[in-house]
Amino acid sequence: MLKYVTSYILIITTFLSAETIFSQNSHTIIATLHPESHIINIQHEIVFQNKTNDTLNSVYLYDWNNAFSNNQTPLAKRFAEDFNKSFHLAKKEEKGNTKLISLTDRNYNYLKWERLESDDILKIQLNFPLYPHQNYHLRLSYSVKLPDSKFTRYGYTDENDFLLKNWYIMPAVYENGEWKLYSNKNLDDIYDQSSDYQIILNYPSNYNLISDLNVVQDKEMENYKQTIIYGEKRADITLYFKLFNEFSIHDTGSLKVITNLDSKELDYIQKGLSIEKVIDFIEENLGKYPHDKLLVTEEEYRKNPLYGLNQLPSFLRPFPDEFQFELRILKTTLYKYLDNSIFVDPRSDRWLFDAIQTYLMIEYVEKNYPDMKLLGGLSKVWGIRSFSLAKMDFNDQYTFLYMLMARKSLDQELTKPSDSLIKFNEKIANKYKAGVGFVYLKNYLGDNTIDKSIKTFYNDYKNDKATPQDFLTILNNNSHKNIDWFYNEYINTRHKIDYKLKKLKKDKDSVWVTVKNKSGTTVPITLFSVDKNDSVLSQQWLSGIRNEKVVGFERKEVKRLVLNYNKLIPEFNQRNNSKSVNGLIGNRKLKFQFFKDIEDPLYNQIFYVPIATFNVYDGFTPGMRLYNKTFLDRPFFYDLSPSYSFKEKTIVGGAKFNFRKYIDEGNLYQINFLAYGNTFHYAEGLRYTTITPAISFAFRTDDFRSNERQYLTSRFVNVIRDKSPDIDTDPDYSVLNTRYTYINNSIINYKSWFADLQIAHKFSKVSFNCEYRKLLRNNRQVNFRLFFGKFIYNETNSDFFSFALDRPTDYLFDYNYLGRSESTGLFSQQIIIAEGGFKSKLKSAYSNDWMLTANVSTNIWKWIEVYGDAGFVDNKYENTEFVYDSGIRLNLVTDYFELYLPVYSNNGWEIAQQNYDEKIRFIITLSPRTLTGLFTRKWF
């Protein structure tokens, strides 16, 4: 009671006198909530302490709520980068802002201030210098208009609740001679110093306040409540104002956990037991939390959930209820526990907390649920249990999901600032790599050094500022081995770990094997010897292998030597880790398996799955797809799809072989060597076959988050066709095709272009194509496309190789036509937007000299659009003709199912002409890859 009285006196005296001396930053806030307008009026006094040896003439303040004020802030741009258009299209009243009414010093003298270009950082010019280790008082009066919670889960909700985070202005951090001017980018990583808070909250009496600060006084007036809360050495303060309080309080004895994390399958007592179990584990592995209460919310969990099967609907989740709830509580509590206790730079040094959080999650499952599989109960279901995926332990997912990015060459250094990370890395891969790194290091050291160092670090720097170097110093001091490689190679680079067993020699008593370092990343690797039952006979750590090293064993019962047998090291490729001592040719058996699976290093896997295709000439075409591509990308993969054409009663299908080389350094990041081909029918009774070798180069910028890509592709297309009476030229031909493509994909502004060159025996031509798409504030999208094509020489005597105005002949067999040779009937109405891009069928349908066209469209209501095309068509020995058309586009499912209804063109009013149904054009796509791309683009 005395503590509360003292705190209340401190609040009052702070407002009455500016002479109080503080040992650290402090905030004194009077905030009044107005639910109807979603506004909080705030009177705020900040005591900012200069903890450095520098003299400051200006200070900077974070005003992250103002990041919601317009579409040009870093936050708004971040939403667009993640293909989220909700903020761009939001109404003004749904967005937030901060109106700064007055800003003075301790003597109420006005201070000059300005907003930086980002709009969420304020620069304050001081009236007198702030000397080292001195305090400066700032008095602010401002109103905060809260945003709709649909953007970040914080703000006002549809139920008119208020979830407050980053809701008040706070000082930026000055260290190492510079200000850390971080803008709000929806990463929940505001950089705050340890501060004392005294807050008086005024709000309507029908609301419940949820906070983990100490309540000094709580009184209710006629129509409103006033609550005074207080906290020492705290980070950013999160507050909830709820009309209905669904939070529960669980007292573990050492800590009160306030949470709305729900589990419909568990009652209050069961949840309490799970929470107590989690807190006991955290206190055992970290230490006591420095405050009395901890707020753990559903919103915080949903911002960083347990990705994977844990996100399935409850009726499909294959995990025990307690297990799911405990992991949700564990992950969110660890995040809050660390974030509220130790003050690290959350943008540049986040990897350290990620490592501790993920490592302790792995340890928790290892201790309490050691037999839990990645698929949970599904791992025992018939038809699933035979998959290698079903045999994976739950903790195997961490290495697997990190490797998902490493295999795509999209992994990034753990020391990269979090705002420069690809979303998948920021949310998943980097966190998991960091945690797996601690597991790797623990096994290398072979003792409890990691556990001891984590606990020492937490307790030494509790309520204080720290850096990763502080932790690494503790770790080095506790280690009995040299672990410089851990930071220099594993943490600070994106170098891959990849060893292989190269040569094996043996005699009667001994066996020697050569271990080769394929990647050049010099980190320790384990080498195991196993017997015929796959039981481990011996294990040894090999260090310092820069190129190759020969290792010897006593032969005895050794049947196989295996690198990284327990798979605790996140190695890039484990398919070359095993050598059989018995001298059999090949070390991996052949394994046929239904559907895709994870890699099994012991087998050469061939997956098979039924497929079916359709075109007019082959009819329904069932087949079997045979491929070796697992869930993780691999350098070489093949895809064979033999099928049976019921209509032609013959074998058709395709094949593709691809060797992919990733390059970690520089803008050229991928080289593909391909060979692919298809054989189907292009008309009734007429087969075509294509055989195409190709090479492609992919380029990206240094910013991995950028959607900007460039590609250079060269291929040699060989076409072999059955002779038809309708073909008056050689049915077989070859075309050398080189194309440069630029694309910058964004949900707000999309732009791409390509330049294409084709050289064949009887023709050569160049073409240029560019597209631009703009999403306007009113949700209206404007699309523009320009195409120009010109023959360098043309000795053909038909339009088969000509530029097409509305329906390319597809002599390179790139497009998925259902009836490529049809000139009448339904299948002739299929359209693919290429070359001229027209929708109406005009008399001047082809050009054997040059063509210039433009296509424009915009939506008028939801999926209904209007389009217009115009251009020039030039043929040899004929006058250049101006062409145009217009109509309505029904964009039902973009790129999957669209209808084009011509209205007016060179043909006149087409909508009023006979047989109008034959003029309607359609787009239909059967490939699922287009759809999956819509979901994965925001992650990769």
Residue 1, pLDDT > 80, answer no
Rounded Cα–Cα distance for residues 323 and 365 (Å): 9
Task: Give CA 369 to chain center in angstroms.
Answer: 29
pLDDT of amino acid 219: 93
Confidence of residue 510 (pLDDT cuts 50, 70, 90): confident
Instruction: List the beta bridge partners of residue 858.
Output: 782, 866
Sorting pLDDT into bands at 50, 70 and 90, what band is 932? low
Please name the helix (run of DSSP H) or strand (run of DSSP E) that holds residue 889, with its range, or none: strand 881-893
Structure tokens at 23: 């040992």
Read off φ and ψ for residue 829, nearest 5 degrees. -90, -5
Per-residue DSSP letter, 244: S
What DSSP string runs through 149-202?
Answer: TTTTS-EE-TTS-EEESS-S-EEPEEETTEEE-PPP-SSS------EEEEEEEE
The answer for 463, left when phi > 0, alpha when psi is -120 to 50, beta otherwise, is left
Q: Pick the closest to residue 921 from 817, 843, 847 (CA basis).
A: 817
Q: How confident is the model over 677-706, as a mean pLDDT?
A: 95
Task: Compute the average pLDDT of residues 930-937.
Answer: 61
pLDDT digits (tens, 9 = 90+) for 872-925: 999 999 999 999 999 999 988 777 789 999 999 999 999 999 999 999 999 987
- The 3-state DSSP class for residue 573 equals coil
Give me the pLDDT at residue 503, please. 86
CA 63, 66, 68, 74 dihedral sign is negative
The conformation of residue 238, written as its DSSP 8-state character, comes to: P
State the pLDDT at residue 313.
Answer: 64
Look at residue 52 in the predicted model and tell me its pLDDT. 93
Query: Where does residue 840 rank: exposed (0-12), middle (13-18), buried (19+ CB within 10 A)?
Result: buried
pLDDT of residue 17: 41
Q: Give the model confidence (pLDDT) of 599-641 as tens digits.
A: 888 888 999 999 999 999 999 999 999 999 998 899 999 999 9
Rounding to the nearest 10 degrees, give the CA dihedral for residues 727, 731, 737, 741: 50
> What is the average pLDDT score of the chain?
91
Distance in angstroms (rounded) separating the CA atoms of residues 207 and 230: 19
* Selection from 225, 247, 338 nearest residue 285 by Cα: 338
Q: State how far the alpha carbon of 745 is from the alpha carbons of 83, 749, 893, in Å.
A: 9, 7, 19
What are the pLDDT digits (tens) for 815-874?
989 999 998 999 999 999 999 999 999 999 999 999 999 999 999 988 899 999 999 999
Which whole number is the average pLDDT over 273-282? 96
pLDDT reading at 160 higher than 80:
yes
Contact 905, 885 (CB under 8 A): yes
Out of 3.40.50.300, 1.20.120.1200, 2.60.40.10, 1.10.1660.10, select the CATH number for domain 499-586: 2.60.40.10
Give every CB contact of residue 680 below 8 A, 6+ residues apart in sequence.
Answer: 615, 617, 618, 645, 652, 653, 687, 688
DSSP letters spanning 399-425: HHHHHHHHTTT----TTS-GGGS-HHI
From CA 26, how far away is CA 17, in angstroms rounded? 14
Give yes or no for residue 436 having a pLDDT over 90: yes
- Which fold, 655-936? Porin (2.40.160)
The confidence band for 7, taking pLDDT boundaries of 50, 70 and 90, is very low
Average pLDDT estimate for 353-372: 96
Residue 587 has pLDDT above 70, yes or no: no
- How far is the C-alpha of 166 from the C-alpha of 181, rounded, in Å? 15
Residue range 201-250, pLDDT digits in tens: 999 999 999 999 999 999 988 889 999 999 999 988 999 999 999 999 99
pLDDT of residue 934: 57
pLDDT, tens digit, 9 for 90 and up, residues 443-474 = 999 999 999 999 999 999 999 999 999 999 99
How do the domains of the chain map onto residue ranges?
Answer: 2-245, 350-491, 499-586, 655-936
> Taking the chain, what is the end-to-end CA distance rounded to the nearest angstrom?
54
Nearest alpha-carbon partner for 767 in 744, 801, 748, 790 = 790
| CB burial string 190-217: b at 16+ within 10 A, e below | bbbbbbbbbbbbbbeeebbbbbbbbebe
**CATH of 2-245 given 3.30.2350.10, 2.60.40.1730, 2.40.30.60, 1.10.3720.10:** 2.60.40.1730
CA distance 800 to 846: 9
Separation in Å, CA 224 to CA 201, 202, 219, 471, 708: 10, 7, 9, 48, 53
pLDDT of residue 106: 92
Look at residues 74, 701, 705, 666 and name the one whose alpha carbon lies nearest to residue 416.
705
Spatial separation of the C-alpha atoms in residues 833 and 841, rounded to whole Å: 13
Residue type, 826: L
Q: Residues 639-678: pLDDT tens digits?
A: 999 999 999 999 999 999 999 999 988 899 999 999 999 9
* Segment 303-318, tens digit of pLDDT: 988 887 666 666 667 8
Rounded to whole angstroms, how far apart are CA atoms 781 and 776? 6
pLDDT digits (tens, 9 = 90+) for 775-789: 888 888 899 999 999
User: pLDDT value at position 508?
Assistant: 80
Query: Residue 20 pLDDT > 80, yes or no?
Result: no
8 A C-beta contact, residue 458 and residue 342: yes
Residue 274: pLDDT over 80: yes
pLDDT surpassing 70 at residue 812? yes
d(CA 272, CA 255): 12
Identical fold between 2-245 and 655-936: no
Query: What is the per-residue pLDDT for 146?
Result: 98
Following DSSP, what letter does each residue of 772-836 receive, concatenated? EEEE-TTS-EEEEEEEEEEEEEE--SSSTTSEESSS---TT--S--SSTT-SSSGGGGB----TT
| Predicted confidence (pLDDT) per residue in 170-184, tens digit | 999 999 999 999 999
The SS3 assignment for 360 reads helix
- Asked if the model's pLDDT at residue 586 lies above 70, the reply is no
Helix (H) or strand (E) holding 932: helix 929-936
Sign of CA dihedral 9, 12, 17, 19: positive
Q: Which residues contact 6 (CB under 8 A, 6 or more apart)?
A: none
**Which of 248, 377, 395, 363 is CA-nearest to residue 321?**
377
Q: Is 350-491 CATH 3.30.230.10?
A: no
Least confident of 215-229, 297-311, 346-360, 399-413: 297-311
The helix (H) or strand (E) run that includes residue 712 is strand 708-721
Are 199 and 229 within 8 A, CB to CB? yes
Confidence check: pLDDT of 337 > 60? yes
Residue 854, classed as helix, strand or coil, is: strand
User: Residue 2: which pLDDT band, with cuts at 50, 70 and 90?
Assistant: very low
Q: Is the distance from CB of 654 to CB of 678 less than 8 angstroms? A: yes
| 74: Cα separation from own chain's centroid | 18
pLDDT at residue 141 above 80?
yes
Predicted local confidence at residue 603, as pLDDT: 85
C-alpha span between 356 and 472 (Å, rounded): 13
Distance in angstroms (rounded) separating the CA atoms of residues 820 and 441: 59
pLDDT in tens, 32-59: 999 999 999 999 999 999 999 999 999 9
Q: What is the amino acid identity at position 447?
A: D
pLDDT at 872: 97
Any alpha helices (H) in 286-406, and if so which ranges? 298-303, 321-339, 350-368, 388-391, 396-406
Q: What pLDDT is recorded for position 262?
A: 85
Q: Determine the Cα–Cα distance for residues 475 and 465; give it in Å rounded to an integer.
A: 18
The pLDDT-based confidence of 926 (bands split at 50, 70, 90) is low
CA angle at 580 for the pair 574 and 583, rounded to the nearest 5°: 140
Q: What is the pLDDT of residue 19?
A: 40
Secondary-structure percent of the chain, ordered helix, strand, coil, rounded to 5 = 20, 40, 40
**Residue range 332-337: average pLDDT?**
96
